[in-house]
Amino acid sequence: MLKIDNLHARVESQAILKGLNLNIKAGEIHAIMGPNGSGKSTLGHVLAGRPGYTVSAGSVTFQGQDLLALETEERAHLGVFLSFQYPVEIPGVSNMEFLKASVDSIRERRGEPAIDSVSFMKQAREACKNVDLDISFLKRGVNEGFSGGEKKRNELMQMMLLQPKLAIMDETDSGLDIDALQVVANGINAMRSPDRSFILVTHYQRLLSFIEPDFVHVLSGGRIVKSGDKSLALELEERGYGWLEDVA
């Protein structure tokens, strides 16, 4: 699904990713943990093709294609989905219009006609139900006045409608109370499939007790300095990241 080799990336003149390697097979969930500022969000941005980053070395292959050679939109159309650590508000655009536009843009790319409104509404209502959001959220402005938990659930709903191949969830659990965390975890678990992979960036072991990852990696200083299974997350919770500095 995804093969990252010796990835180096910088913002302006600051090197952030410094030789990152990661292999993700179809169907796997990889959790990425690590200290603040270690480059976790940068990794998601570089994979999704957000502007502002310069890749200075290395390669990323996604389903056999050179991902870094593709435009941001092309990556989305191929099924790369990035959730936002800080979801943006888009006042004046209804959530439903926004979601439908994102689905239609992917369909257009595949040579399919825009989804008809009735089918879309049906899917959107179903997605709302899955993430425990009232359907009135479809009529509101994108993220406008949504609470932190509602934004995260809305983001999950967007993922459900887009059905990505690779979902990168950046701190989808931050700021959630335990019930919302359970809803988000259930949603992600329901999306697990043999042909879909996940990168879950998280600071907390808590999320991983609801979503069992196949691998846990520690990103520190722009590289993956340790990988393990879910027990690594428990160990990090107990010991922090300091003991890994020698490894880095």
Report the residue number, 36 or 136, with the smaller CB distance to ligand ADP. 36
Q: Does 37 interact with ligand ADP (rule: CB under 6 A)?
A: yes
Nearer Cβ to ligand ADP, position 43 or 68? 43
Segment 158-217, which members bind Mg ion (CB under 5 A)? none
181 touches ligand ADP by CB under 6 A: no
Among 2, 4, 16, 48, binds ligand ADP (CB under 6 A): 16
Task: Map tokens 């979503």 to a residue.
Answer: 211
Q: Considering the rule CB under 5 A, would residue 41 count as an interface residue with Mg ion? A: yes
Q: Choose the binding region for ligand ADP from 37-45, 146-154, 177-185, 187-195 (rule: CB under 6 A).
A: 37-45
- Give the one residue of 22, 24, 38, 159 binding ligand ADP; rule: CB under 6 A: 38
Q: Which is nearer to Mg ion, 142 or 168 (CB)?
A: 168
Can residue 40 be called a binding residue for ligand ADP (CB under 6 A)? yes
Return the closest-CA partner of residue 14 out of 168, 201, 171, 221. Answer: 221
Q: Which of residues 43-82 bind ligand ADP (CB under 6 A)?
A: 52
Write out the residues near Mg ion by the rule CB under 5 A: 36, 40-41
Task: Name the site residues for ligand ADP (rule: CB under 6 A).
Answer: 11, 14, 16, 34, 36-42, 52
